[in-house]
Amino acid sequence: MSNLIEVRDLRVSFRVGKDEVFDAVKGVSFDIPENTTVALVGESGSGKSVSAMSIVRLLPDNAIIPAESRVMYGGHDLLKLPVERMRELRGKDMSVVFQEPMSSLNPVFTVGEQIAEVLRIHMNMTPRQALARAEELLAEVGIPEPKARVNAYPHELSGGQQQRVMIAMAIACEPKLLIADEPTTALDVTVQRQVVDLMAKLQEKHRMSMLFISHDLGLVGEIAKHVIVMRNGIVREAGDTGQIFSAPQDSYTRALLACRPRLDARPRRLPVIDDIVNNRPLATTEREPKPIDGPPLIEVSGLRKVYKLKTGLFARKEVPAVEQADFVLHKGRTLGVVGESGSGKTTVGMMLTRLTDPSAGRILFEGTDLATLNPKQLRDWRRRIQIIFQNPYASLNPRFTVGQILMEPMRIHGIGKDDNDRARTALGWLEKVGLPATAFGKYPHEFSGGQRQRIAIARCLTMKPEVVICDESVSALDVSVQATVLNLLLDLQEEFGLTYVFISHDLAVVKYMADEILVMNKGQIVERGTAEEIYARPTNPYTQQLLAAIPRGYERKAA
């Protein structure tokens, strides 16, 4: 089999200051054979996206690539082609599907116009021909009612549909190479399954090569024929998918495979990268569910939320987000809430904290109905029930230092004698979550995603809460960082007797964390039970569908 792309000794650096240069890729070499899917795998900062974007010359202006680096395609070095020639190749011979479709799609143009633009530029079609072809492409990628959707704007589509539009745009000119850069990271497990299956089908149908970039080895094992594992700008291991999964040679590859929670085991602690790389002994004992001790801490009954949307000058439309939710929280236990986007799980969490007011129902916290309290009465209760949001980039004030971020809620709630006392408390929590004391005076942008989530956890715990709502709090993290944060949450629960509501669309993570699980679909709780019961004997078709969509790596592909 001949190679479509040959990358040789690729080195990429970035100017980050007047005299400072950061080496992102350090002599990487790999091939992309024709009509084959190759996966680039690694954590954030490993250099995988920089390597891929070097192929299509989409790096920022401060990138430096030395003359000896080569990216060969059709006998030409892409790194040395004139800009005009590269512009012709991009879109026609090579296309990219990016991670976040809403950042890639223009919000003021319809999706049909955006697909048609590619066809007009690269295929010399007339506007009428291009729009007709755009409709055909929407049908090919599985968009329902393509004739109507061709005139829709990006915000009118779901996240999965937006990503399908990006795929339609990428394959419009039938490219020889499709680069998919973390195309499913932000998607629900079922939508992720649909997108991965769609890309595999399109790759086979159009006989194109695909470079699939991800940090999740379980996912790429289902779609790729070859896997390249990167860390710190170098290739740690490369080979056929079966070889990588059955007999990984490099300790880092073994670590990536081991970090993700498994469905068949619940070890007391998840292994992290350093455990595997440094050959530390791993936890062998199983983590037992926490026993139910005493009466419920929180009892929720008849909880309902209806949003009223304006549809005309005087017309209003009611959209139910949560319908008749009933459940209890017991002290020291974890309640998992799973479901796709729009299922109502986050709305439940927001109502528990009264960041969203319920339309009906009761939230009894030690006999007090939180649903009926006014803002002044809620103040003391809010200290006892805290929330960790999904995105630490958005939930931390970029103008505050970490010390100010941790001390502000304590100051508001009158915790601590003075600022010196509060500062000592903040430093103590930084130590608890594994951050150095020097973090106190730094700003959020100086930390990685995993470190920012630790800061968000520390801020939450400065209130000494009894209940913590974890709203997709690890979904944006690499599998290795995710394992570290999950271990931290379990350690804190053990030490302080915390009660968690763990909201996620990642069923493997929920199974590892939760003692009891609620499955939500379209605002309703469709199934409930212990983690073992739900995963071993799901009774609702929706639950069965969610479980079937979980990435299981090479074992599913082989089957």
**What is the reported pLDDT for 262?**
82
Sheet containing 37-41: give its strands across.
94-97, 177-181, 209-214, 37-41, 226-231, 234-240
Note the pLDDT tens digit of each residue in 33-81: 999 999 999 888 899 999 999 999 999 999 999 999 999 999 999 999 9
On the question of pLDDT at 487 being above 60, the answer is: yes
SS3 of 369, please? strand
Find how far residue 89's CA is from the centre of its chain: 31
**Nearby residues of 410 by Cβ (< 8 Å), 6 or more positions away:** 416, 422, 425, 426, 462, 463
**What is the reported pLDDT for 258?**
86
Let me know if residue 504 belongs to a domain: yes
Note the pTM of the prediction, 2 decimals: 0.85
**What is the reported pLDDT for 380?**
83
Let me know if residue 392 belongs to a domain: yes
Q: How many structural domains comprise the chain?
A: 1
Let me know if residue 147 belongs to a domain: no
Domain range for 423 is 298-550
**What is the reported pLDDT for 360?**
95
Residue 553 binned pLDDT confidence (cut-offs 50, 70, 90): low
On the question of pLDDT at 498 being above 80, the answer is: yes
Residue 555 binned pLDDT confidence (cut-offs 50, 70, 90): low
Q: What is the CATH number of the domain that holds 338?
A: 3.40.50.300
> How would you write 390-441 as a 3-class SS string?
CCHHHHCCCCCCHHHHHHHHHHHCCCCCCHHHHHHHHHHHHHHCCCCHHHHH
**What is the reported pLDDT for 480?**
81
**What is the reported pLDDT for 186?**
64
Note the pLDDT tens digit of each residue in 419-444: 999 999 999 999 988 889 999 999 99
- Among 122-136, 305-319, 468-482, top mean pLDDT goes to 122-136
Let me know if residue 349 belongs to a domain: yes
Q: Which residue carries 């809460």 as its tokens?
A: 465
**What is the reported pLDDT for 454?**
87
β-strands 226-231, 499-504 pairing: unpaired
What does each C-alpha distance from 400 to 110, 227, 289, 403, 429 come to in angstroms?
A: 39, 42, 39, 8, 17
**Nearby residues of 518 by Cβ (< 8 Å), 6 or more positions away:** 327, 335, 336, 337, 338, 525, 527, 528
Let me know if residue 422 belongs to a domain: yes
What share of the chain has pLDDT > 90, as a percent? 60
Let me know if residue 33 belongs to a domain: no
How large is the average pLDDT for residues 113-138? 94
Note the helical H segments in 445-530.
449-461, 479-496, 507-513
Note the pLDDT tens digit of each residue in 225-274: 999 999 999 999 999 999 998 899 999 999 888 888 888 888 888 998 88
**What is the reported pLDDT for 84?**
92
Let me know if residue 456 belongs to a domain: yes
State the DSSP H helix or E strand holding residue 72, giving kind and residue range, or none if neither: strand 70-73
**What is the reported pLDDT for 238?**
95
On the question of pLDDT at 391 being above 60, the answer is: yes
Spatial separation of the C-alpha atoms in residues 91 and 89, rounded to whole Å: 6
What does each C-alpha distance from 56 to 98, 206, 525, 544 come to in angstroms?
A: 13, 20, 46, 41
Let me know if residue 318 belongs to a domain: yes
State the DSSP H helix or E strand holding residue 256, giving kind and residue range, or none if neither: helix 251-259
Q: 62 versus 284: which is more confidently predicted?
A: 62
Note the pLDDT tens digit of each residue in 205-235: 999 999 999 887 778 888 999 999 999 999 9
State the DSSP H helix or E strand holding residue 133, giving kind and residue range, or none if neither: helix 127-140
Structure tokens belonging to residue 540: 């609702």
- Among 48-52, 316-320, 392-396, 448-452, top mean pLDDT goes to 48-52
Mean pLDDT of the chain: 90
Are 480 and 456 within 8 A, CB to CB?
no
- Range with the poorest average pLDDT among 255-269, 392-406, 544-558: 544-558
